[in-house]
Amino acid sequence: MPSKQQSIILGGLVAGLLSTSYLSFINFLCCAGILAGALVAVWHYTDTNELTLPAGQGAVIGILAALVGWLVSFVLNYVLIQAGIRADLTVSQFMLDRFGASMPPEQYDALIAQMEQEITLGKYVVSALPGLALSALFGAIGGAIGAAIFKKGEPVEAA
């Protein structure tokens, strides 16, 4: 079976870039960025090698692409946070603008404190770990969908 590495990296870059900073809001639509990266990985692999994958192999490619994507977005988001660009502040600012006047004072103060809180590497790692599991899950779904959609040439036997 041909190497999947190039396809996984390509799909991971797509997923990672779509999951970075302000673009990450696309993932509020059922993890659309992760699904897109997994689909790209399976499409690239089947198109380049002119073969048809079973759903299980598509899911594996999708998972691996999603994990690469998670790593790419993890690093890029941390660099952006250190540079003072925080997408999470946009959500907090929206909450203040929209509901600030009607919030209880303690909730308002907690939201302001959250916005002013410094993000350390440890806090960032802990907050990013649930995204790793979700990325793998939605990567598997995207990969399986991709295997069903992108069919080229002879089917590959399940390994």
* Amino acid 9: pLDDT: 96
- The 10s digit of each residue's pLDDT in 38-62 is 999 999 999 999 999 999 999 999 9
Report the chain's terminal Cα–Cα distance, integer Å.
10
Q: How many CA atoms lie within 13 A of 45 on its CB side?
A: 35
Reading the chain (159 residues) residue by residue, the pLDDT tens digits are 789 999 999 999 999 998 887 777 777 778 899 999 999 999 999 999 999 999 999 999 999 999 999 999 999 988 888 887 766 655 566 667 777 777 787 877 777 777 667 777 888 888 889 989 999 999 999 999 999 999 887 777 755
Of 40, 47, 87, 78, nearest to 61 by C-alpha is 40
Question: What SS3 state is found at 95?
Answer: helix
**Residue 141, amino acid:** I
- The total of other beta-carbon atoms located within 10 Å of residue 102's CB is 8
The domain segmentation of the chain, as residue ranges, is 5-82+129-149
Distance CA 39, CA 23 (A): 18
